[in-house]
Structure 1
Amino acid sequence: MRRSRSLFIGMVAALAAGVGAVAVAMPAFAAGPTATFVKVSDWGSGWEGRYTVTNGGSSVISSWVVAFDLPVGSRVGTFWDASMTSSGQRFSFVNRSWNGTLVPGASVSFGFNATGAGVPSNCVLNGVACGGGTTPTTPPTTPPTTPPTTPPPTTPPVTPPPTTSPPPNTGLPKHALIGYLHSSFANGSGYLRMADVPAEWDIINLAFGEPTSVTSGDIRFQLCPVAECPGVETEPQFTAAIRAKQQQGKKVLISIGGQNGQVQLTTTAARDRFVSSVSAIIDRYGLNGLDIDFEGHSLSLNTGDTDFRNPTTPVIVNLISAIRTLKARYGSGFVLTMAPETFFVQLGYQFYGSGPWGGQDPRAGSYLPVIHALRDDITVLHVQDYNSGPIMGLDNQYHTMGGADFHIAMTDMLLAGFPVAGNSANVFPGLREDQIAFGTPAGSSAGNGYVAPAGVQQAVTCLVRGTNCGGYAPRSGTNPNFRGLMTWSINWDRFYNWEFKNSHDPFLNSLP
């Protein structure tokens, strides 16, 4: 993605505990474990809650379950740092695999968003009152209070012949509108507050989380400074607006990288710091997931790393490991998107890394091992069909930006699959239709390769219905579950009087 400013590094500050919060009173001292509730924020139609589980006893807790009632009309929406089940108005939260053990004196928190009014009542922790003492008079109607020893898989099992597992229930519409929001910087398109993002956008990628240094793995994100963005909202307003979007069924992700945010996870220490720092951002704002927008020299392949199915280059291996860890932490509802450039994906049809004899650009096709390893975890792959040179398609013809043909040929490669570096014995398998979208600039100032709405819709019609394809015959056939369209950016779309969303949202909604 393109942006017009120097690299801005912001320290991620923890939310001040109790600021603007409403706490449910608990005993000052209690023997044994306790679970304390705080209403972190309230925006009228909903609110964010947080429970802190503390081991006030003298022995180690190996697992915990917090269960409580909510008033009729209140429901839990998104949640994090725990797994949830419900029965009527009774909600039960079970620890994740990584935060269940608490030594004496230790604490851990989990959070959730809820609609409606009121606060939890009749809370129990591992079967006894959350404040310590005896079970409340209203008996809990919860599943067993001992969590399963083996957590359920976060992805369905892969069963040949499909190239990826069946799609999870992501809560997204069949055809989605995806856009980037300039949240941490300003450019010629102007700043746009989260609360002012129109309802048509189904996935909102916050641009950008950036590293403190190229190889640190330490990702930081903060809102655009007032001096740069005079209209910027406060962090509580920003967070409340995210919750409101989520209550509408929208997904809000942190996007890592961008043009200026080069990230190279060269060591396992950088990998682990990436996981912890990205988790901190996701938890801080209660986000739905992660977008990987590595550009420039973030990804490249070491000499001799020639098999996309078994990568050996540390920056590739560590990125795959980090994303898998994040996915495992947040569970099957975690939304993962990627926005690579064509150089890192489709160019792999001709060239992969430095090649068998060296001398090629080692970045060529370097996203392929990441995509392949995570194909059962990716929610949407939306390649940037812009800022690209000519790329050869499956018809062995070069395709150039600026019209429907480029979108059709580039997207068909991801749906049909292709031999890597021309090797028919080394084929990159296609992804599911619902995992594929493509990216296009919202206007001529947003990036090279702008295509007017009629051309974009011609491409989608070809991919979905197999008609109006021009001179290119898709190898993937028809793709009625094609996921949708991504644009750089929501800000630029506003600058161009919402041409992108006004044209494409009703079009996508009209598709089968």
Structure 2
Amino acid sequence: MTIALVILLILPWLTPRADAAAQWQAGTAYKKGDIVTYQNKNYECIQAHTALTGWEPPNVPALWKDVGGGTGGENPTPAPDTIPPSVPTGLASTLITETSVQLIWNASTDNVAVTGYEVYRNGSLAASTSSASAVISGLTAGTTYAFTVKSKDAAGNLSAASSPLSVTTSTGSTNPGPAPTGSKWLIGYWHNFDNGSTNIRLRNVSPAYDIINVSFAEPVSHGSGTLAFTPYNSTVEQFKSDIAYLQSQGKKVLLSMGGANGTIELTDVTKRQQFEESLKSIISTYGFNGLDIDLEGSSLSLNAGDTDFRNPTTPKIVNFINGVKAVKAHFGADFILTAAPETAYVQGGYLSYGGPWGAYLPVIHALRNDLTLLHVQHYNSGSMVGLDGRSYSQGTADFHVAMAEMLLQGFHVGGSGGPFFSPLRPDQIAIGVPASQQAAGGGYTAPAELQKALNYLIKGVSYGGSYTLRQPAGYAAIKGIMTWSINWDAYTNNQFSNAHRPFLNGFSTQTTKEAVY
């Protein structure tokens, strides 16, 4: 035998076999030229990278080139695959209704590939899916279920179950009964953050308040229409318990959205849909009685050419109106809807309509039959012009009376020749003020000053101020006082609510006596 023949005979044994390549595996760092086997075929890496689930060679030709070969089985030996995928993590619910729950979780990894997931409800198989999400339907309203998820591979290996997730379906109505029964209400905002005022559990707010606005639901990221809310000083279950406790005392607890830092701009239909679904989910999850609109900054502003509040054309205003209407319709007639715009966005439209000036007017007009309360922020405001053409400064009785009567009488928008903004009902109006000097940059009003303004507005009892009511007898049905905030009130040992709760109760007593006589 010649040397050349010997070399030809042994050469195949010296050359590495292509079908002996290692199996492709997520999490492995591959360099250019590496050979792997995946589902019966060999692939050559053509670009260095670290593999991720979903980047299997057939799926990403930019990373892998099919070089043929393979062993005809799942493994290069081909020994049977007995390794299960990793346990799914991060199981959470993103949308809860009366009869269904939407679940999401983090994708699992496997030595070969994850092919799907099994979702279990109370220990029984409820669904199989190829993606890391599932909708479980056919549930019963007001019922608690335990969900777990397992991952599986092509060889039939099943992971251990994920940590269980407990979910309670909606009852179909998050509003146990209508709004508070007293003739005059005290409305306050509760902070879901620490700003140096007072940290208090929701259930421990002063019993003086009728409506508690939980502040705030905010976008999950800049530009997103999806809102999120997570309690900052309790677990989700504790917070739900706190809401139920307050409701058992006859209080109403609303979810407030936006705030100074929560810019919500629904510039297209997709963001509007995200907005609707996320709010429905949050409200259902926690059992809120309603929704408060507290949009500030660029959240609402009018585009150039948008000149008629009755027919707005600015996309983020039109989408916002439609989104809020959809949420309100979803929860029904008892759903409480309130709004707390700044003066420039409402009364500011009297003299000028454009940009931020008057930007809330199309929203208020479109929702006027849905709004339970409009409590404009009579603070952090510059001087404003009333219906009498005179300018009034915040923090005074005249300012409160003048700004309130603009909404009770209506006004021409953008000047005397502009379209007329029709008045709201008196029972839709409350006055928004800071609870203390520290609560706002300006506009704090001493209790005596605010109460003389309300006596004039509600009963027509003049204090001899500069502004004269166009309806001298006043507006008996005005609803009350809103304040930023419950926490700042607590900071001053509840001086605000201790002063105004008895005052508001006095109107209820007077109404009862008048009914008797």
Change (3 A) 1:339 1:28: same
- Measured after TM superposition, the shift of residue 35 of structure 1 is 5.7
Give the AA of the match of 2:341: P
- Measured after TM superposition, the shift of residue 424 of structure 1 is 4.2
The answer to whether the Cα contact below 8 Å between 2:215 and 2:255 also exists between their aligned partners in 1 is yes
Moved more, 396-405 or 417-426: 417-426
Change (3 A) 1:34 1:304: closer
The answer to whether the Cα contact below 8 Å between 1:214 and 1:264 also exists between their aligned partners in 2 is no
Q: Which residue of 1 aligns with 2:493?
A: 497
CA distance in 2 between partners of 1:314 and 1:476 (Å): 38
Give the AA of the match of 2:416: N
CA distance in 2 between partners of 1:109 and 1:289 (Å): 18
Deviations 1:350-403 (A, max 9, x none): 0000xxxxxxxx110000000000000000000000000011000100111121
Deviations 1:394-437 (A, max 9, x none): 01001111211111111111111111012345110110011000
SS at match of 1:384: coil
Confirm whether residue 187 of structure 1 aligns to residue 195 of structure 2.
yes
CA distance in 1 between partners of 2:245 and 2:506 (Å): 26
SS at match of 2:456: helix
- Measured after TM superposition, the shift of residue 483 of structure 1 is 0.6
Q: Alignment partner for residue 420 of structure 2, among 420, 423, 427?
A: 427
The answer to whether the Cα contact below 8 Å between 1:12 and 1:221 also exists between their aligned partners in 2 is no
Deviations 1:30-49 (A, max 9, x none): 9xx97647655xxxxxxxxx
- Measured after TM superposition, the shift of residue 51 of structure 1 is 13
The answer to whether the Cα contact below 8 Å between 1:172 and 1:202 also exists between their aligned partners in 2 is no
- Measured after TM superposition, the shift of residue 113 of structure 1 is 8.8
The answer to whether the Cα contact below 8 Å between 1:26 and 1:36 also exists between their aligned partners in 2 is no
Query: Any stretches of 5+ residues in structure 2 without a counterpart?
Result: 1-89, 102-120, 127-136, 148-167, 512-517
Superposed, 1:373-384 pairs within 5 Å as: 373-384=366-377
SS at match of 2:280: helix
The answer to whether the Cα contact below 8 Å between 1:51 and 1:109 also exists between their aligned partners in 2 is no
Q: Which residue of 2 aligns with 1:510?
A: 506
SS at match of 2:170: strand
Deviations 1:48-92 (A, max 9, x none): xx999xxxxxxxxxxxxxxxxxxxxxxxxxxxxxxxxxxxxxxxx
Confirm whether residue 14 of structure 1 aligns to residue 93 of structure 2.
yes
Change (3 A) 1:26 1:277: closer
Matched residues, number: 361
Q: Alignment partner for residue 456 of structure 1, among 450, 466, 475?
A: 450
Q: Alignment partner for residue 480 of structure 2, among 462, 480, 484?
A: 484
The answer to whether the Cα contact below 8 Å between 2:180 and 2:210 also exists between their aligned partners in 1 is no
The answer to whether the Cα contact below 8 Å between 1:415 and 1:476 also exists between their aligned partners in 2 is no
Change (3 A) 1:258 1:36: closer
Give the AA of the match of 1:318: N
Deviations 1:426-458 (A, max 9, x none): 110110011000110000000111011101111
SS at match of 2:309: coil
Superposed, 1:58-207 pairs within 5 Å as: 109-111=169-171, 170-183=179-192, 185-207=193-215
CA distance in 1 between partners of 2:141 and 2:395 (Å): 54
The answer to whether the Cα contact below 8 Å between 2:220 and 2:226 also exists between their aligned partners in 1 is yes
C-alpha RMSD over aligned residues: 3.0
Q: Alignment partner for residue 221 of structure 1, among 222, 229, 236?
A: 229
Using CA pairs under 8 Å that are at least 6 residues apart, name the structure with larger relative contact order, 1 or 2. Answer: 1
Superposed, 1:215-364 pairs within 5 Å as: 215-224=223-232, 232-353=233-354, 362-364=355-357
SS at match of 2:330: helix
Confirm whether residue 437 of structure 1 aligns to residue 430 of structure 2.
yes
Query: Any stretches of 5+ residues in structure 1 without a counterpart?
Result: 1-10, 18-24, 41-49, 53-107, 115-167, 225-231, 354-361
SS at match of 1:237: helix
CA distance in 2 between partners of 1:268 and 1:12 (Å): 28
- Measured after TM superposition, the shift of residue 475 of structure 1 is 2.2
- Measured after TM superposition, the shift of residue 14 of structure 1 is 3.3
Q: Which residue of 1 aligns with 2:48?
A: none
The answer to whether the Cα contact below 8 Å between 1:382 and 1:486 also exists between their aligned partners in 2 is yes
CA distance in 2 between partners of 1:285 and 1:278 (Å): 11
SS at match of 2:218: strand
Superposed, 1:17-28 pairs within 5 Å as: none
Give the AA of the match of 1:459: A
Q: Which residue of 2 aligns with 1:6?
A: none
CA distance in 1 between partners of 2:248 and 2:198 (Å): 26
CA distance in 2 between partners of 1:38 and 1:487 (Å): 34
Change (3 A) 1:29 1:408: same
Change (3 A) 1:466 1:12: farther
Deviations 1:237-295 (A, max 9, x none): 21111001112221111111111111111001111100011111101101011101000
Give the AA of the match of 1:418: F
The answer to whether the Cα contact below 8 Å between 2:170 and 2:284 also exists between their aligned partners in 1 is no
The answer to whether the Cα contact below 8 Å between 2:433 and 2:484 also exists between their aligned partners in 1 is yes
CA distance in 1 between partners of 2:360 and 2:444 (Å): 24
TM-score, structure 2 as length reference:
0.65
Give the AA of the match of 1:472: Y
- Measured after TM superposition, the shift of residue 208 of structure 1 is 0.7
Q: Which residue of 2 aligns with 1:446?
A: 439
CA distance in 2 between partners of 1:444 and 1:458 (Å): 19
CA distance in 1 between partners of 2:140 and 2:266 (Å): 38
Give the AA of the match of 1:497: N
Change (3 A) 1:425 1:351: closer
SS at match of 1:375: coil
Superposed, 1:469-480 pairs within 5 Å as: 469=463, 470-477=465-472, 478-480=474-476
- Measured after TM superposition, the shift of residue 468 of structure 1 is 2.5
Confirm whether residue 468 of structure 1 aligns to residue 449 of structure 2.
no
SS at match of 2:375: strand
CA distance in 1 between partners of 2:386 and 2:351 (Å): 9
TM-score, structure 1 as length reference:
0.66
Deviations 1:9-29 (A, max 9, x none): xx9953999xxxxxxx99979
SS at match of 2:311: coil
Change (3 A) 1:259 1:172: farther
Moved more, 320-329 or 207-216: 207-216
The answer to whether the Cα contact below 8 Å between 2:173 and 2:332 also exists between their aligned partners in 1 is no
